[in-house]
Amino acid sequence: MEQVKQVAYGFVAMASIVALFVSAIWLLTAYLNPWIGVPVFLFLAVPLAINCVSLLKAINGKKPTQIRVKQAKNILMALPGAGVACWFFDVLSTTLVIDIAQSGTELNPLGWPYSAPAALAYYIPITVITYYLLFKIKRKLSFYAAVAVSAATLFMAARNFLASLNNFGPEIIAEYSPTPSIAELEVLCIWVAVVAVLAVINIAAIVKARKPLIA
C-alpha cells in the first residue's frame, strides 16, 4: 500500500536526521574520537544529503494542482512515521542509559520498560486517523483536520526527540578514554550499528532511484 510506504519513508527520513544530529553532537564533540566519529557521521550524512536534494528537486517546480495536493497528502502521511522514529530513539536512548550504562532512572511514573509503549499507543491510532482523513474522507475540511492532527503528532515527536537528546550525554558515555568500559563499548557498538543500518537504507534508496537512468 502506497500510504504504508509514506509512513516508512517518514520513519527512515526522521530516524536518519536524528541519528545524524546525535552523532554530530555526541560522537564528534562529547566522545572526542574523530577516528570513530567522522567516518560514522559521513557514512550517513552523504547518502542522506543526496536523498534530501533528490526530494527537494521532486517537490519543487511547476506542477498541476492535483499533483501538489497528492504531494501534500504524502508528506502529511509521512509525519506519523517521523513521530515513531523520534519515539524509537527515545526508547533506544533510555535503554542505553538504564539497561546498559546503568547510569540513570526512568522519571515516568509507569516505570521502565512499561512507559515505553505509552507514546506508541498514540502514534498507531493517529496514523490510522490521518490515513482516513486524507484518503477515505474526500472533503476539503478533512484535509485541514489532517493538518491539525499532524501538528499534534509533531508536538509529540518533538517531546520524544528532546527526551532522547537528554539521554545522549555523559550518562551514556564519558569523554574519550584509551580504555573505555565494557558498557561504553556496548553503547558505542549499538549506536554505530543503528547508524550503519540507516546509511545502508539511504544508499539503497539512491540505487533504486538511479536504476531507471541506468537502464
- What pLDDT, in 10s, does the model give residues 153-180? 999 999 989 888 887 765 555 555 556 6
Percentage with pLDDT > 70 across the chain: 83
115-118 contacts at long range (C-beta below 8 A, 24 or more positions apart): 116/91
User: How high is the mean pLDDT of the chain?
Assistant: 83
Task: For 2-42, write each residue's pLDDT tens digit.
Answer: 889 999 999 999 999 999 988 887 766 555 566 777 888 88
Q: Is the separation of the CB atoms in 161 and 15 below 8 Å?
A: no
Q: What is the pLDDT of residue 27?
A: 63
- If pLDDT is split at 50, 70 and 90, which confidence band does 214 have? very low
Band (pLDDT 50/70/90 cuts) for residue 57 is confident
Q: Does residue 139 or residue 18 have the better pLDDT?
A: 18
Q: Which amino acid is at 202?
A: N
User: Position 152: which residue type?
Assistant: A
Share of residues in the chain with pLDDT > 90 (%): 38
Residues 104-117, mean pLDDT to the nearest whole number = 69
